[in-house]
Structure 1
């Protein structure tokens, strides 16, 4: 099955608005980060098209940032020639939910709930995930849930999962520093898989920056496959 991973990202972590401008899909992020603010290519691009996209992004009060996926090499080269710098190369991992539902999550380790509790919002805030990114979660059409992780009877982490077209994607996984290296990321993924299964999804996926060696190792160790990649280019 061929998956449009860009559609899965947009469906589970949506921008505030979308606009087609020539060969570009523009996103209005309202401060929610690169993923909901970057323009992406949907057709052949010429230099004037880039000029127009840049002007539109500036008019929205946003940085000039483009998302480059496999097949976008020509655009990537054009942006590099304009002085755009590479930002946050990422991997996309995925697996069948059945791969991660073979063993139960220990009791009171992960709770799934929506709306997020105040402690979940606090943990996200400590990790730099503020109101603008919480607004992204609110916009996700669902099904969706928050994850509340506990360790030694204390709140230890949180995350967000949403489903698009049978594919669940985990976003904004944040583990409290004092509770890291305790296997909570592994249980978060398994809990997300159980929730995804219960809500009609066949696949669980996650996005991870290539620089995050620990997270990449975790997803490999869980038997997830690297199914895609992309990076941004931004004009500073």
Structure 2
């Protein structure tokens, strides 16, 4: 699943624009965060092409290093790039998950935008959702919402947000069941999501629901 998972991640949470320099894909995230702004290695590692990519990005250089890209990771470390936000992609077969009828819509409503804004998901990230080209929806629960989209046979969940006063009351679990129901209705085989390793509480919830680590990545940021 690693390659398919990263393809689904890119398709369901897309950059505003991309440009290829040799094997490197540079991204313009338009303020939508690291995931849509980081450059990635899309072919065999080439140090000369890395020089060209670095020259293009300058001091704002940010790369996503995916599982198995050891030579690329070592090259960035040798150039002083610091590790940032180690992240895992968790996945589960849709037919193995608890599913519920999804309460979903598109586009997002005012209540969704307000809830996301309170959690730090602003207009630039909402614009990322609008750019996703495949089937998509905002799932809504009691003081909670999430964005879900499908690419191929993978449905990806993004931007799950629960109001501060409603946390630890089952809202996240209910949204995950809706996501499984939505994925099943869309014909997806797998439901996946990305979560930072530092977010232990969320990872524990997802593991209890039946999700397992499919692959991982981290970022490396250019030295000041």
TM-score (norm. length: structure 1): 0.89
1:80 aligns with 2:77: yes
CA RMSD of aligned residues (A): 1.7
Structure 2, unaligned runs of 5 or more: none
What's 1:39 paired with? 39
In 2: Cα distance, 1:94 partner to 1:18 partner? 27
Contact 2:5–2:154 (CA<8 Å) still a contact in 1?
no
Q: 1:166 to 1:73 in 2, by over 3 A?
A: same
Tell me the CA shift for residue 166 of structure 1. Answer: 1.3
What's 1:67 paired with? 64
TM-score (norm. length: structure 2): 0.94
In 1: Cα distance, 2:63 partner to 2:49 partner? 13
* Regions of 4+ moved over 6 Å: none
What's 1:141 paired with? 133
What's 1:153 paired with? none
Tell me the CA shift for residue 2 of structure 1. Answer: 6.8
In 2: Cα distance, 1:13 partner to 1:222 partner? 23
Tell me the CA shift for residue 63 of structure 1. Answer: 2.4
Tell me the CA shift for residue 72 of structure 1. Answer: 1.1
* Paired residues for 1:50-199 under 5 Å: 50-58=50-58, 63-101=60-98, 104=100, 111-150=103-142, 156-199=143-186
Tell me the CA shift for residue 54 of structure 1. Answer: 2.0
Structure 1, unaligned runs of 5 or more: 151-155
1:13 aligns with 2:37: no
Tell me the CA shift for residue 183 of structure 1. Answer: 1.4
Q: 2:193 is matched with which residue: 203, 206, 211?
A: 206
In 2: Cα distance, 1:234 partner to 1:116 partner? 32
